[in-house]
Amino acid sequence: MSPSGLRVLLLGAYPNDLLQIVGGVEAVNYALVPALAAHPAVAHVTVGVLRRRGQLRRHQISATLDRIDIPVPFLSGDVLVHSAQCVQAVRRLLPSLRPDLVHGTGIDRVGDVATQLGLPAVVTIHGLVHIEARQSARGLSGMIKTLLFEMMVRRVLRRAQVAISISRYDASLLAPMIGGRQVRIANPIGPEFFAAAPAPPLHPQVLFAGVIRPRKNVLGIVNAFARVRQAIPTARLVLAGPELEPDYAQAVRQRASQLGISDAVVWAGHLAPAGVLAALHQSHVLTLFSDQETLPTIIAQALAVGRPVVSSRVGGTAEMVVDGETGYLVAPGDEESLADRLIAVLQDQSSAQAMGVRAAAVARQSYDPASVADQTVGAYRLAMG
């Protein structure tokens, strides 16, 4: 380590600009990396983004922060063969970057690369890729893909000096696989979400924000919202997120049409952080109804803004939402309970506002970027010591 502080190579998703943020890991890194670069114990942070096409590009963001696009031959397909190609691409940069350690933000290919560079390695458990692969597996090819992902996750967690769990859920689930130290640090969110939010509009509005895909059970949200609409005829549902699986998005549209609520369902598309913030300001409640989650960034953002959350009780959501205090939790797949809780929030605004006040206080304690960066530097010291 240099006298001026740690030099960190952070591998993972990072937005080229704020309009291109897709997914929770990009949003988390966007909040965390500047806070790390500003930490007194850190001399420099280089963010390495693995790209399939293009030349090596360096973007200087500040005196203590660079972003490098690292071209690699492949980013899809066999999870074992292509990791080796990514490792070689990153190794060629190490002499010029001179990092003291590497931080892989994921236990997928990014973590696989990070733990093969010969440096002290920290990995953050962003999502359970092997479980997601198992849930979506179809046929023999799906079974093989699941097996390869499970092998990769075990390899990453065995090799890393420190594994950062973002929730008690993943900490307990993956503890037997971890070969080094394990710490728990929640994901940060952007500082803009902590600003005082305006009062919600008079028009009752429910917001879903996330990728439109089966794991998020957006169909279940639409089914539940049909009952909300019967109780509150002026209610609207906003679906904000990229449609990465067009067939599923079309099925959601068809279901809304069958239920006669198409006019009350607004498709907002993919939103940058400023758009997400505006959508939260314009809504009374955030809802998630996923079949599997780890620690959804959008829940932290909603809590920070002061909006109650109604979510399925899966993964780490029960650690984020205090049932009856900052929102409500329902069993996954229980559309009737989801509808009842949404109706309760929309019809009792005084209670909902009290929930929002408590939610904002909880969020500031848990998801502030400077606090998370300080804990992360502690994990770096563990890895090096």
> What are the pLDDT digits (tens) for 148-205?
878 889 999 999 999 999 999 888 888 999 999 999 999 999 999 998 888 888 889 9
Higher local confidence (pLDDT), 55 or 121 = 121
pLDDT at 51: 82
163 and 197 housed in the same domain: no
DSSP code at position 14: -
- The pLDDT confidence band at residue 131, using thresholds 50, 70 and 90, is low
pLDDT at 78: 47
Q: Is residue 218 part of a domain?
A: yes
Q: What is the mean pLDDT of the chain?
A: 90
CATH of the domain at 54: 3.40.50.2000
CA 248 to chain centre: 21
The amino acid at residue 210 is G
pLDDT at 130: 61
342 and 205 housed in the same domain: yes
pLDDT in tens, 208-267: 999 999 999 999 999 999 999 999 999 999 999 999 899 999 999 999 999 999 999 999
242 and 335 housed in the same domain: yes
What's the rounded mean pLDDT across residues 133-160? 80
63 and 41 housed in the same domain: yes
3-state helix vs strand vs coil in the chain, percent to 5: 50, 20, 35
The residues, any chain, with a CB within 8 Å of residue 106's CB and separated by 6 or more, are 12, 25, 123, 124, 125, 126, 127, 129
pLDDT in tens, 58-104: 888 899 999 999 888 765 554 544 577 889 889 999 999 999 999 99
pLDDT at 85: 80
Distance between CA atoms of residues 35 and 32, nearest Å: 5
pTM over 0.75: yes
Distance between CA atoms of residues 294 and 292, nearest Å: 7
136 and 217 housed in the same domain: no
195 and 335 housed in the same domain: yes
288 and 333 housed in the same domain: yes
197 and 74 housed in the same domain: no
User: Scanning the structure block, which residue is given the tokens 């010969």?
Assistant: 118
Burial of 240 (0-12, 13-18, 19+ CB in 10 A): buried
204 and 327 housed in the same domain: yes
pLDDT at 23: 62
Q: Is residue 1 part of a domain?
A: no
Which residue range is the domain that position 11 belongs to? 6-187+369-384
Count of structural domains within the chain: 2
pLDDT at 301: 95
Distance between CA atoms of residues 177 and 82, nearest Å: 23
pLDDT at 25: 87
28 and 162 housed in the same domain: yes
pLDDT at 143: 74
What's the rounded mean pLDDT across residues 22-51? 91
Do 372 and 35 meet the contact criterion of CB atoms below 8 Å apart? yes
